[in-house]
Amino acid sequence: MLDSYGPWAVIAGGSEGVGAAFAHQLADAGINLVLIARKPGPLADTAAQVRAKGVEVRTLELDLLAPEALRTIRSVTDDLDVGLLIFNAGANSYGHEFVTGDLDRVREVIDLNITAQLALTHHFGARLKQRGRGGVLLVGSMAGYLGQAQISVYSAVKAFSRVFAEGLWLELREHGVDVLELVLGVTRTPAMARAGLNFDIPGLNVAEPDDVAREGLAHLAHGPVLVAGGNADAAVKRSGPDRAALALGAHEASKRLLPKA
């Protein structure tokens, strides 16, 4: 890990859940960290925990939707030899019907999951290409395999991320840079808990942050897409040709996950 993706890694969304799991596992491998997140409390806690493992840590309390976000990130990373970018900042699914929802909130979903992701990937990807080694890991979602009511735009941006990762993988692989879209299913994260997901449904496949982060890092060199947490068969089923039947079936199943409004 240190030879391929060190000595520094940048984690956008690195304060809790899967992002924090990445931070701990990279610190265990001796990789220094730049952790970016909006919430100062969890950010400081995770930074202190991984710093205690003997690595250097820089933190940046930042909303990636801010106009000067990339410039701010560059101000704390331009002097570092960054070998890995992890983009894990895309949890704002905004659960409302599109035509009656707030268009500004919809734009936030697009800007965080597409615009901000592209900005960071463009900047750090160019640096990695120039240095001739490193990795880009984009955290995706099973939502990107099938359109869903209430989160239609979120599903669409996650589909974009997966296809983008495939193209980026083709562009960078000959330059020694690994690219992986790590597709998550239901994962026991603070963000999903705040959304009110019911993790206790019998038969529901719930993954743990440490496990999916470990899967992602272990398969980073084998991109472009890894469906984590034992969800590979579900991804195949969601890719079938009868889109109406698949969408309706997933819609009925999803009603069990969230509390009624």
Residue 195: the pLDDT is: 65
Residues with Cβ within 8 Å of 63's Cβ and at least 6 positions away in sequence, in order, are 38, 69
Low-confidence ranges of the chain (pLDDT < 70): 91-93, 193-198, 200, 255-261
Q: Answer yes or no: are the C-beta atoms of 112 and 92 closer than 8 Å.
A: yes
5 belongs to the catalytic site: no
- DSSP 3-state of 260: coil
User: DSSP labels for 52-112?
Assistant: TTT--EEEEE--TTSTTHHHHHHHHHTTS-EEEEEE--------S-TTTS-HHHHHHHHII
Determine the angle formed by the axes of helices 117-131 and 69-77, rounding to 10 degrees.
30
- Please name each of the domains of the chain with its CATH number: 2-254 (3.40.50.720)
Nearest-angstrom CA–CA distance, 60 and 38: 8
pTM for this one? 0.92
Backbone angles phi, psi at 179, to 5 degrees: -130, 135
Of 158, 237, 255, 260, which one is the catalytic site residue? 158
Residue 202: the pLDDT is: 72
Tell me the pLDDT tens digit for each residue of 192-225: 766 666 676 777 788 899 999 999 999 999 999 9
* Count helices and strands in the chain by DSSP H and E runs: 11, 7
Residue 261: the pLDDT is: 45
154 belongs to the catalytic site: yes
Tokens of 16: 């809790």
Peptide bond into 67 cis (omega under 30): no
Residue 206: the pLDDT is: 85
Residue 260: the pLDDT is: 47
- Looking at residue 221, the DSSP 8-state letter turns out to be G
Nearest-angstrom CA–CA distance, 220 and 173: 12
Tokens of 47: 């930074």
Of 39, 94, 154, 237, which one is the catalytic site residue? 154
Residue 205: the pLDDT is: 84
Closest residue by Cα to residue 181 from 90, 249, 55:
90
